[in-house]
Amino acid sequence: MIRKIKPEFIAPYLRDASNFSGGNAEEVVIPESSDELADFLKKETRPITIAGAGTGLTASRIPSGGIIVSLERLNKILDKGPGKVEVGPAVSLNELQKFLAPTEWFYPPNPTETWASLGGNLATNASGSRSYKYGVTRNYVDEVELLLVDGRKTSLKRGLRISEPLTFTDGSEINFPDIKYQSPVCKNAAGYFVQPDMDWLDLFIGSDGTLAIFTNIILRLAPRPDDFVSGVLFFKEEHSCWELIPKIKSMVNQNIDPCSLEYFDHNALERLKSKYTNIPDYSRAAMFFEQDVAKKCDYDGVLENWYEFLNAEEIILEDSWFAQGPKDVQMFQNFRHDAPVLINEENSRAGRVKLGTDMAVPDEYFLSMMELYRETLNDNDVDYIIFGHLGDNHLHINLLPEDSQGDKAQNIYDTLVDQILKWGGTVSAEHGVGKLKKDYFAKMVGPNGLKELSKVKRCLDPQNRLGVGNIL
Ligand SMILES: Cc1cc2nc3c(=O)[nH]c(=O)nc-3n(C[C@H](O)[C@H](O)[C@H](O)COP(=O)(O)OP(=O)(O)OC[C@H]3O[C@@H](n4cnc5c(N)ncnc54)[C@H](O)[C@@H]3O)c2cc1C
């Protein structure tokens, strides 16, 4: 086991992509195996924070004291037979994609940050542009090995319901507490996932490093589509873009069946112009779409369907981009990824902690949500960009206040949260609550919800030592 105690070696673990500063830890511990980690945990009494790859956006891996456990040495990838792969928690999405590239299988969730670790993806239940059709990380986890903070270990398979006890290798058992709380029904990554008679596995996925440590993961894969029809459409009016979404959704059983439907507002496009000079000047909004094509021979038919549909909707096609091959498909994915990257870089240059929303609402409030965003943001002079997942009614607003506008930006965020919660939405659909969205999460679930979720935490970590400061 490697142990780092010098401040300069600890410092890189005190950062993530949120720009949050002020974390501290006594040491970083890097186990070589899960058994070594289990032995260590059995003797340890200090608070523990798990480090993944540090791409998180909510400061959830940044501790205030105690020790950091980095699982960077648990990085093996093994083929587990058709449609299955076994990964150590430190394996990145990039490494997994490279491993699968020569095979006929692929891992559908594609959070755009491919340097993230799969352990981190499970802890945040990460999702991405293709989650609209394929679903979130949770849908692709079949089995995990996990450790509690006291060193107890279990191998947890899909199918073990919370109505049954969770059993550990030392023979001890834990029962799920009797609570009434249930997670919202829209896309959601805020707080613990709780649904009646769910699997234990689903509780741990998305628990923001607070309930257990993933030390091994078996993922379910899907057959790789032969191709993707993929394009970026530009709009003179924001409304034309927004109004297309319910229409696309209503076409799902009529050959228009996208896996990605992503948004860029005019401020995002202005930033992206620094890299993509062919964005038309008139663009007030853009939509990136992808539709998976199982068999190459169906490609032309699917493309034709999109042309017909878009023509009927009078969408300008002359300046739109349509992929001509896998390179373009990747280029459009990069285009999507560059929106948050450019903003995170802008925040870093300004020394600004990320003030980004991650809210989603049920389908029926999609257009009202877009109106709310436009009106609230236009009524204020705080700079912002909007991008994200139109298909899931899940947009990211990044507020970019000047030094003197901090309170104003916070007020805008508060106003938006209040309305989104009235519509039965969530304060985090993808990045998790971490340390930055705790107040909003408390608002979302109320005092009783917090009390009930604390019972869940207590039954797995009674001394509150794991991921202290996240969620609750
Ligand atoms: C440019 C950019 C784009 C992004 N796009 C997306 C996106 O499209 N979708 C999306 O969902 N997210 C996105 N993210 C956020 C981020 O990539 C995800 O939250 C990711 O899952 C974090 O993984 P990580 O390995 O970096 O975890 P870290 O940031 O290191 O940690 C995140 C949390 O996971 C816990 N954790 C890590 N490993 C384990 C483990 N083995 N066991 C238990 N807990 C663990 C940590 O304690 C912490 O609470 C983006 C980030 C950036 C910078």
Give pLDDT, residue 60. Answer: 97
| For residue 185, pLDDT beyond 90 | no
52 and 144 both lie in a single domain: no
pLDDT of residue 232: 97
Q: Whose CA is nearest to atom 4 of ligand 1?
A: 113
How far, in Å, from the CA of 62 to the mean position of ligand 1?
12
Residue 461 CB–ligand 1 contact under 6 Å: no
Evaluate: CB of 208 within 6 angstroms of ligand 1. Answer: yes
pLDDT in tens, 258-292: 999 999 999 999 999 999 999 999 999 999 999 99
Q: How far is the CA of 460 from the centre of ligand 1 (A)?
A: 22
C-alpha 114 to ligand 1 mean position (Å):
10
Q: Are residues 13 and 149 in the same domain?
A: no
In the chain, how many H helices and how many E strands?
Answer: 13, 19
Query: Which of 175, 194, 223 corresponds to the end of one domain?
Result: 223
Mean pLDDT of 333-351: 92
Contacts of 336 (CB under 8 A, 6+ apart): 112, 129, 260, 262, 288, 387
Regarding the beta carbon of 207 and ligand 1, being less than 6 Å apart is answered: no
- Is residue 25 located within the same domain as residue 155? no
Radius of gyration of the chain (CA): 22
SS3 of residue 453 by DSSP: helix
Same domain, 38 and 143: no
Indicate whether residue 95 lines ligand 1 (CB < 6 A).
no
Region for residue 206 given its phi and psi (left: phi exceeds 0; alpha: psi -120 to 50; beta: otherwise): left
Three-state DSSP at 388 gives: strand
User: Are 108 and 239 in the same domain?
Assistant: no
In a domain, 467, yes or no: no
Instruction: Let me know if residue 461 belongs to a domain.
Output: no
The last residue of one of the domains, among 70, 94, 119, is 70
259 lines ligand 1 (CB under 6 A): no
pLDDT of residue 73: 98
Q: Phi/psi zone of residue 182: left (φ > 0), alpha (ψ -120 to 50 degrees), beta? A: beta
The answer to whether the pTM exceeds 0.85 is: yes
Pocket test for ligand 1, best of 29, 72, 124, 260 (most atoms within 8 A of CB): 124
Ligand 1 atom 7 nearest Cα: 111
Residues in the chain: 472
Contact in structure between 127 and 111 (CB atoms under 8 Å):
yes
> Cβ(358) to ligand 1 under 6 A?
no
pLDDT at res. 152: 98
Question: What are the CA-CA distances from residue 153 to residues 44, 209, 231, 444, 460 (Å)?
Answer: 15, 16, 46, 33, 12
Ligand 1 neighbour 50 (Cβ under 6 A): yes
Q: Assess if residue 472 is contained within a domain.
A: no
Ligand 1 pocket, mutate which of 117, 131, 262, 470 (most atoms under 8 A from CB):
117
In this structure, the answer to whether residues 240 and 189 fall within a common structural domain is no
Ligand 1 pocket test target in 57, 68, 335, 341 with most atoms within 8 Å of CB: 57
The arithmetic mean of pLDDT across residues 235-240, rounded, is 96
Look at the chain and report how many structural domains it folds into.
3
Distance 53 CA to ligand 1 centre (A): 7
The enclosing H or E element of 308 equals helix 299-312
Q: Which pLDDT value is given to residue 186?
A: 85
For ligand 1, say whether the CB of 41 is within 6 Å of any of its atoms: no
Question: Which CATH number is 376's domain given?
Answer: 3.30.70.2190
* 340 within ligand 1 shell (Cβ under 6 A): yes
Residue 379 domain flag = yes
Does a structural domain hold residue 427? no
User: Which residues are 50's β-sheet partners?
Assistant: 69
Q: How far is the CA of 61 from the centre of ligand 1 (A)?
A: 9
For residue 390, what pLDDT is reported? 97
Do 282 and 341 lie in one domain? The reply is yes
User: At residue 432, does pLDDT exceed 90?
Assistant: yes
Residue 256 Cα, ligand 1 centroid: separation in angstroms? 32
Ligand 1: does its nearest atom lie under 6 Å from the Cβ of 89? yes
Residues 106 and 208 in one domain: yes
Distance CA 199, CA 159 (A): 6
Q: Please identify, by atom number, the ligand 1 atom nearest to the C-alpha of residue 470.
A: 49
Please report whether residue 437 resides in a domain. no
Other beta carbons within 10 Å of 96: 21
Q: To 10 degrees, the CA torsion angle through 164, 168, 173, 178?
A: -50
pLDDT at 184: 86
Indicate if the pLDDT at residue 253 is higher than 80. no
CATH number of 39's domain: 3.30.43.10
Is 35 in the same domain as 128?
A: no
Quick check: is 27 in a domain?
Answer: yes
d(CA 277, CA 397): 23
Q: Note the pLDDT of residue 112.
A: 83
CB 417 within 8 A of CB 408: no
Flag whether 130 is in a domain: yes
Angle between helices 438-460 and 406-422 (to 10 degrees): 60
- How far apart, in whole angstroms, are the C-alpha atoms of residue 259 and residue 262? 10
- Residue 120 Cβ inside 6 Å of ligand 1? The answer reads yes
- Of all protein residues, whose CA lies closest to atom 16 belonging to ligand 1? 56
Strands 27-30 and 67-70: parallel
Segment 390-415 mean pLDDT: 96
Distance 126 CA to ligand 1 centre (A): 7
406 and 258 together in one domain: yes
Does the CB atom of residue 60 touch ligand 1 within 6 A? yes
Given a cut of 90, whether residue 222 has pLDDT beyond it is yes
Residue closest to 209 by CA, chosen among 375, 49, 19, 12: 49
Q: Residues 258-283, buried b or exposed e (16+ Cβ, 10 A)? A: bbbbbbbbebbbebbeeeeeebeeeb
Q: Which atom of ligand 1 is nearest to the CA of 432?
A: 19
Report the pLDDT averaged over residues 434-454.
96
What CATH number did the domain enclosing 128 receive?
3.30.465.10
Boundary of a domain, candidates 54, 70, 86: 70
Which residue's CA is the closest to the ligand 1 atom numbered 41?
119
Identify the pLDDT of residue 381.
94
Mean model confidence pLDDT for the chain: 95
Q: Which long-range contacts (CB under 8 A, 24 or more apart) does 24-27 make?
A: 24/63, 24/64, 24/65, 25/49, 25/63, 25/65, 25/66, 25/67, 25/68, 26/65, 26/66, 26/67, 27/3, 27/67, 27/68
Distance in Å, CA 116 to ligand 1 centroid: 6
- Residue 66 and residue 215 share a domain: no
Mean pLDDT of 97-121: 95
* Angstrom distance (rounded) from CA 188 to CA 215: 24
Domain extent, residue 66, equals 2-70
Both 389 and 376 in one domain: the answer is: yes
Which residue has a Cα nearest atom 2 of ligand 1?
113
Across residues 79-101, what is the average pLDDT? 97
Tens of pLDDT along 4-42?
A: 999 999 999 999 999 899 899 999 999 999 999 999 999
